[in-house]
Amino acid sequence: MNVITGYLKDFASLIFPELCQACGDSLVNTEKHFCTTCIYQLPYTNYHLVPDNRLAKQFWGRVNINAATAFLYFNKAGKVQNMMHQLKYNNQPQIGEELGKMFGKQLKETFPYHLAEAIIPVPLHPKKLIKRGYNQSETFANGLAEILQIPVVTDLLFRDKAAESQTAKSRSSRFENMKTVFKALDNQHSYKSVLLVDDTITTGATLEACAFALQEIGIKEINIVGIAFTE
Ligand SMILES: [Zn+2]
């Protein structure tokens, strides 16, 4: 930033102070995206330190997952809901990246997450991608990648358009629908262990379907990393 843009930024911040994306308070100079109070008070799950956590248990008997964690609890009407809303509906991709960097610092020291060879974000529905302009899970993946020094790979897992339009008409269960939507390309990759990244995890049906698709092309260790988990 040069002197003039620096002045302009200072001037703009007098009129439009940057706000904390979690609580809405004005940020002071040293703060970025979130205020210090929120950073201390956010509902961290610390699931990466607990192998048999509630999120991991959700997949038991459904699909073979190596490990599963989420950065935060999604508490309705709370700070996490605010920031997820900003990330998804208010054109703020940098929030996903910031959260990815914050969580990346925790995962950097944690087995088995730091041993993954690729980070794969859950693909967004094409219509949503056009409307939003970015995949929020991919912005989170980019933040994780910067800290963990593991590449983000977006050309392996995709949504099958034909299956998607079929499932829109079908009456079968949500998971059966999902299972046909996600496909993985076996383009001579050599990944054995990946981080599969999502934004808010609720039923886990999407992740289950993605994990199946990735296992079909020989990726043995699927480690799930979400931004938030709804219990
Ligand atoms: Zn705040």
Per-position pLDDT tens, the chain of length 231: 566 666 666 665 566 678 999 999 999 988 999 999 999 999 999 999 999 999 999 999 999 999 999 999 998 779 999 999 999 999 999 999 999 999 999 999 999 999 999 999 999 988 889 999 999 999 999 999 999 999 999 999 999 877 666 666 665 566 667 778 899 988 778 899 999 999 999 999 999 999 999 999 999 999 999 999 998
User: Do residues 204 and 171 lie in contact, with contact meaning Cβ atoms separated by under 8 Å?
Assistant: no
| Cα 8 to averaged position of ligand 1 atoms, centre (Å) | 25
Cα R_g (the chain), whole angstroms: 19
Among residues 154, 148, 157, which one has the least CA distance to residue 178?
157
What is the distance between the alpha carbons of residues 69 and 58, in angstroms, rounded to a whole number? 11
| Cα 42 to averaged position of ligand 1 atoms, centre (Å) | 9
| Cα 39 to averaged position of ligand 1 atoms, centre (Å) | 7
| Cα 145 to averaged position of ligand 1 atoms, centre (Å) | 25
Among residues 126, 195, 183, which one has the least CA distance to residue 155?
183
Q: Is the peptide bond before 123 cis (omega within 30 degrees of 0)?
A: no
User: Do residues 1 and 9 lie in contact, with contact meaning Cβ atoms separated by under 8 Å?
Assistant: yes
What is the pLDDT, as a whole number, of residue 180?
81
DSSP element (H, E) containing 194 = strand 193-201
- CB contact burial 81-97 (16+ within 10 A = b; e otherwise): bbbbebbbeeebbebbb
Domain boundaries, the chain: 1-41, 43-229
| Cα 97 to averaged position of ligand 1 atoms, centre (Å) | 17
Q: 120 in helix, strand or coil?
A: strand
Q: What is the dihedral of CA 174, 176, 178, 184, to 10 degrees?
A: 170
What is the pLDDT, as a whole number, of residue 7?
66
Task: Select 43-229's CATH number: 1.10.10.60, 3.40.50.2020, 3.40.50.150, 3.40.50.300.
Answer: 3.40.50.2020
